[in-house]
Structure 1
Amino acid sequence: MASEGATSGGSLEDRISKPTEAKPDEDQAKASFTDGASETLNGSKLQEPEYDVEVKLSDLQADPNNPLYSVKSFDELGLDPRIVQGIVALGFRKPSKIQERALPLLMANPPTNMIGQSQSGTGKTAAFVLNILSRLKLDTPEDQKTPQALILAPSRELARQIGGVVKEIGRFLDGLEVAMAVPTEGKRPPRLEASVVVGTPGTVTDLLKKRIFIANKLKVLVLDEADNMLDQQGLGDQCIRVKGMLPKNIQLVLFSATFTPQIREYAAKFAPNANEISLKQEELTVEGIKQFYLDCADDKEKYNVLVKFYGLLTVGSSIIFVQTRQTAAEIERRMVAEGHTVASLTGGVEGSKRDQVIDDFREGRAKVLITTNVLSRGIDVSTVSMVINYDIPELHTPGQGRKADPQTYLHRIGRTGRFGRVGVAVSFVSSREEWQMLMDISKYFDTHIEALQTDDWDELEKKIKKTIKNPRSRADYTSTAQ
């Protein structure tokens, strides 16, 4: 099976300009009424901040005064009543700000490409799912078994989560089938038979090549966390390869919380003549999450402090982010040996075991999860009250020394402090170099990261517990709109 990170030659820009030519697993993931799991699986409810949405139309003649340029209710979109029933059942009473602007553009005919930039928790997943469901033809058993839409995500966990969203919003649509195209230990069916396919790029490439996935009737391709998908060379190659095996007139939809200028250029080549919709850049901040750092003498002290943190980590649920699989495995081994209950999930864990780990974490059977950046994006578990950056996220640029990665920091700490809830992020630094990287991140987002003193541990615990337990005021999560 194709690796999710295989690489090929040539620059990403060249490969985007010149693309190459080529029964699902049962998914236990439940739905979302925001960007993640359902309320029963501890997904977070949509309580969006106030913000302005910028729209850049590919057609300069487009009329902003058209009544469908922006909508205030789902009824205005002319959706199938069964789809409206599904979205309302998940807690949406009216479109979010992003949905108000995105949905009329996404659902217009003839279909137009879209590049969307929107924070997690603002309803972007529901937006592209509504577009997909509105375009499905489910009249006959043959229609129901024919893939008509494909959603690509960078990780197995996010793909399963999105699959749950599709199932729940479309729960009243007779004949809707959702197939998961993620790595599996079992034997593949001879044919992927479902109207919507959600998967990871490497597995989808493999299934297309083997003709298990027949794509000639596809109408929509969505890339979620698109900046990550196009920025990582292996994933970017595979996304381009997948696109080259799909119908030429397919609607291309790219969504992410962040886009660097360079990746936005690449995205524009991947999805030409796209409408663009985004939050204003100054609103993509880390406000609303209380950020701290701890100065540790060395790696040994980092681990000792982490062990002392265990009582705080289990106040709610917590995620510990590390740089490598080896570090994750070592921390898990040592903490378990000392009698602490922790779980670990990295790219090295395969298939059903990964599903079990994330499901245990969602449902509260595991309170502390150690992971690499594989879970830094998109995963929505509302009980997460703390994120630990055991290692500062850094960019890998050969020959340029260690450099901070602000975007990954933003995505990591965004796993806590879901809208309306308090979140705490604590970063460990054990060298001058790591401290400088964290200060660079602080400067990048123009935000304050407060030092925690370890000379009085009782006072430190009291401070963090008080932060976690205080309900966030509306001012905290609307401050960026002022």
Structure 2
Amino acid sequence: MSADSWAVAVDFQEATTPAKQFDFSKKLERVRGPRHMRGDINGNLVPERKENGGVRADGDKVDLAEQSLLNKLIRRSLVRNRNQVEVLQRDPTSPLYSVKTFEELRLKPELLKGVYNMGFNRPSRIQENALPMMLAQPPQNLIAQSQSGTGKTAAFSLAMLSHVNPENEWTQCLCIAPTYELALQIGQVIEQMGKFYPDVKLAYAIRGNRLGRGVKLQEQIVIGTPGTVLDWCTKYKLIDPKKITMFVLDEADVMIATQGHRDQSIRIHRQLTKNCQMLLFSATFEDSVWRFAEQVVPEPNIIRLKREEETLDTIKQFYVFCREKEDKFTALCNLYGSLTIAQAMIFCQTRKMASWLASSLTVEGHQVALLSGEMTVEQRASVIERFRNGKEKVLVTTNVCSRGIDVEQVSLVVNFDLPVDFDGNADNETYLHRIGRTGRFGRRGFAVNMVDSKHSMDVINQIEMHFNRRITKLDTTNLEEIEALIS
């Protein structure tokens, strides 16, 4: 895209609140099977793997697909996001259309009724700009950066429902997502939105959903994972790729991080016609995502978040010298007793340490929630919901909660264990994500790091150099010093 493409910055702040809640867990259970069985990334039912079987490391590595699903489960209303976005049009001379009401889109009455029945009163900001492009005639391709909770799933679901001709009983819209749980989430939105449009049918292309070879699907919309969709198009001939007129690729950043999904997605794309409308969505737009998007979406319009400097201005950072975990615990109790804290998040490197700390804090009389990777995504969502509602004041967690979880009341983040990479060096990205759980929405926050060795102090120095910010030493036994430093 040329440098002189028209860019328009808009305030990316959501206000719409869907009133209806989806009962996702029941649908997931029907596909997943008994609780002692878990699905793999393609939907295969496999025995649940135990932590002591050596499948997982003790520390929780963030799984992008699980994190995406977690965000979808906990963000039951549209999030408030103050990031700026810019819209880059394929044709910079064309006027930029946006809408403030769903009526302006001239939707079918059945779809408009479905939208309002879901509790959407007016389009979110991503919908204001994306929907006119997705519904335009002739069709336009789109690449959009949009995080969970901004209404993008509802936007492309509405686009698919508007696009199909219900009189044609073959697959016209194809949407792929990296895991079967995420595919079910999308399908749930389509089912709710199309509640009053029964002529349009939906099929799930996920493992375990077996159909006879050579039987042509009559469902106009198919949602699925790349491997199964590819089988349905090539091996079983259930879908005629030449008849697909809209192709949606969701969670592109997760897709290319999953082994095999990137290549499968490209193989699906190559079977489509040049006239097929291409829509790609991703929460992040790293170089690998851009390279992938360029292969899949020709001549696109682009909606992306404006890159802004990460700011730590509202977060005061400290470190505390400790000899061992018991000293860390004492310092933590002193700190918590000295501050007026709404809620606190405490990060540990391993599940074992997180479990010990949560138990110790509970004994001290604190209302504590524990979050770690051996829990199911649904269990994690429930814990976060309780924490967000203030039923527990302290959340002890591993890295599974370091990204994307916004709780306005959090005023203190404690790195009980400092985040390090496999080589023992400072993991600056994880550090930023962790302490970014406080200081949200312009409020003041505090981040306290526990230092128990020379190596830990070296990690603190690396973090200081990376962010060009000083981290102040704190003596948690000196109440006057604490009060002076945090004032």
Question: TM-score with structure 2 length normalisation?
Answer: 0.60
Q: Distance in 2 between matches of 1:355 and 1:289?
A: 27
Tell me, yes or no, if the aligned pair for 1:293 and 1:427 is still in contact at 8 Å. Answer: yes
Tell me, yes or no, if the aligned pair for 1:318 and 1:384 is still in contact at 8 Å. Answer: yes
Tell whether 2:324 aligns with 1:324: no
Corresponding residue number in structure 1 for 2:478: 456
Q: Distance in 2 between matches of 1:348 and 1:171?
A: 36
Q: Distance in 2 between matches of 1:36 and 1:161?
A: 16
Tell me, yes or no, if the aligned pair for 2:130 and 2:155 is still in contact at 8 Å. Answer: no
Q: 1:179 to 1:135 in 2, by over 3 A?
A: closer
Corresponding residue number in structure 2 for 1:407: 429
Q: 1:36 to 1:88 in 2, by over 3 A?
A: same
Structure 2: which amino acid aligns with 1:48?
R
Q: Distance in 2 between matches of 1:365 and 1:306?
A: 20
Give the drift of 1:48: 2.3
Secondary structure of the equivalent of 1:358?
Answer: helix
Corresponding residue number in structure 2 for 1:374: 400
Structure 2: which amino acid aligns with 1:132?
S
Corresponding residue number in structure 1 for 2:159: 134
Question: TM-score with structure 1 length normalisation?
Answer: 0.61
Q: 1:459 to 1:312 in 2, by over 3 A?
A: same
Corresponding residue number in structure 1 for 2:376: 350
Corresponding residue number in structure 1 for 2:281: 254
Pick from 95, 99, 119 the counterpart of residue 66 of structure 1.
95
Pick from 283, 296, 299 the counterpart of residue 321 of structure 2.
296
Q: Distance in 1 between matches of 2:174 and 2:322?
A: 55
Tell whether 2:82 aligns with 1:48: yes
Q: Distance in 2 between matches of 1:160 and 1:427?
A: 39
RMSD over equivalenced CA pairs, Å: 5.5
Q: Distance in 1 between matches of 2:337 and 2:202?
A: 40
Pick from 76, 86, 89 the counterpart of residue 37 of structure 1.
76
Q: 1:140 to 1:117 in 2, by over 3 A?
A: closer
Corresponding residue number in structure 2 for 1:19: none
Tell me, yes or no, if the aligned pair for 1:344 and 1:369 is still in contact at 8 Å. Answer: yes
Q: 1:327 to 1:194 in 2, by over 3 A?
A: farther
Q: Which runs of 5 or more residues in structure 1 are unaligned?
A: 7-27, 467-482
Secondary structure of the equivalent of 2:154?
Answer: helix
Of the two, which has the highest radius of gyration? 2
Q: Distance in 1 between matches of 2:336 and 2:167?
A: 53
Tell me, yes or no, if the aligned pair for 1:384 and 1:416 is still in contact at 8 Å. Answer: yes
Secondary structure of the equivalent of 1:254?
Answer: strand
Tell me, yes or no, if the aligned pair for 1:387 and 1:412 is still in contact at 8 Å. Answer: yes
Corresponding residue number in structure 1 for 2:62: none
Give the drift of 1:351: 5.8
Structure 2: which amino acid aligns with 1:285?
E
How many pairs were matched up?
A: 406
Q: 1:459 to 1:216 in 2, by over 3 A?
A: farther
Q: Which has the higher contact order (CA 8 A, sep 6+)?
A: 1
Q: Distance in 2 between matches of 1:55 and 1:209?
A: 36
Tell me, yes or no, if the aligned pair for 1:87 and 1:169 is still in contact at 8 Å. Answer: no
Q: 1:113 to 1:3 in 2, by over 3 A?
A: farther
Give the drift of 1:66: 1.8
Secondary structure of the equivalent of 1:136?
Answer: helix
Give the drift of 1:285: 1.3
Identity score, percent? 31
Structure 2: which amino acid aligns with 1:254?
F
Tell me, yes or no, if the aligned pair for 2:144 and 2:304 is still in contact at 8 Å. Answer: yes
Tell me, yes or no, if the aligned pair for 2:343 and 2:394 is still in contact at 8 Å. Answer: yes
